[in-house]
Amino acid sequence: MAQIEVTKLPDAEPRPRQVAIGTFDGVHRGHQAVIEGADTVLTFDPHPLEVLHPAALPKLIMPFGVKRDVIEGLGVGELVVIPFDAEFAKRSAEDFIEHVLIEKLGAERVSVGENFRFGARAKGDPAMLAARAEFATRVVPLVEVDGETVSSTRIRALIAAGDMAGARHCLDAPFMVEGTVVEGDQRGRELGFPTANIVPDDRLAIPGHGVFAAFADGVPAAVNVGVRPTFDSGRGVLIETYLIDRDEDLYGRTLRVAFVERLRGERRFAGVEELIAQMRIDVEDAKQVCASFTGAP
């Protein structure tokens, strides 16, 4: 499959395009409904709130690399990225339609969610797009899962609660984190469970503390998210991934962890023996969960 082409807006060449527009954090089921049938996705990086209201910026569900890959998996050929800054934020909705959608992108069809707003002071809305004759406009209603609207806010809450099945149901895929494997203090190796450790990016959502069954680069894994209460290490939060039946040096590599199910909450153990006994149970539990995982949301 051809790799998705990532183009910064200033570098885009005009051509006939079917464009889906949105921030698309999480690329959840609602976003997928907007993207369906588009050959081009127009998105923003950084997230507009990072520029407009940094204090209101939520934890992002996906780093850009994961978002790009998920959008590619939907069959989209091009990802056009608006480098969002204070200057771009001043552009009027009319200017966005004229100079971005029509002039720069050659949009023949534009697809947005019903709650999409754009332009200075968010004055642009789907009705303004639909009023234009230069392109067809498709306005997609909000999508519901289990009787409740799917939104990035809802998914963030599910992730924070450790509800991986709930998040997966809304995302239509497992929730993923990605990061560079850093040198730990070798404690896992001493205990017989060497882990690949990622220090999570503070701007991104991570699961509530606990032990999870997951896939790390496709390999079944037991993952601990937390601060390791049995050892007063004084460290911040770590994502510690034990790849089951696989021993390789991952230092410096980028690891992508797809969370399947929370096995238990974070606990302090009386001693190392008790911790090791529990880790053996966790690994067995994770192995079983991964073996029975079908990938279905």
Q: pLDDT at position 231, please?
A: 47
DSSP H/E element including 273: helix 272-292
Q: pLDDT at position 186, please?
A: 60
Are β-strands 210-216 and 254-264 bridged in parallel, bridged antiparallel, or unpaired?
Answer: antiparallel
Contact 238, 201 (CB under 8 A): no
Residue type (1 letter), 175: F
CA distance 61 to 156: 7
126's tokens: 């789907």
Contact 262, 210 (CB under 8 A): yes
CA–centroid distance for 128 within its chain: 30
Which DSSP state fits 204? Answer: B
Active site residue ranges: 240
Q: pLDDT at position 137, please?
A: 98
Strand residue runs (E) in 22-116: 40-44, 78-82, 107-113
Block means of pLDDT (10 residues each) for the chain, length 297 residues?
Answer: 86 97 96 97 93 91 93 97 95 97 98 95 95 98 94 96 96 95 70 86 93 96 81 71 88 94 90 90 97 81
99's tokens: 């100079």
Which DSSP state fits 129? Answer: H
Q: pLDDT at position 296, please?
A: 65
Q: Which sign does the torsion angle of CA 144, 145, 149, 151 carry? A: negative
44's tokens: 């923003």
Contact 240, 224 (CB under 8 A): yes
Q: pLDDT at position 144, please?
A: 94
Write down the H helix ranges in 74-190: 86-89, 93-95, 126-130, 152-160, 164-171, 187-190
pLDDT tens digit string along 100-136? Answer: 999 999 999 999 999 999 999 899 999 999 999 999 9
Strand residue runs (E) in the chain: 5-8, 17-21, 40-44, 78-82, 107-113, 136-140, 144-145, 148-149, 175-182, 196-198, 210-216, 219-226, 238-243, 254-264
Q: CB within 8 A of 8, min separation 6: which ones?
A: 80, 81, 83
122 three-class SS: helix
How many other C-beta atoms lie within 10 A of the C-beta of residue 4? 18
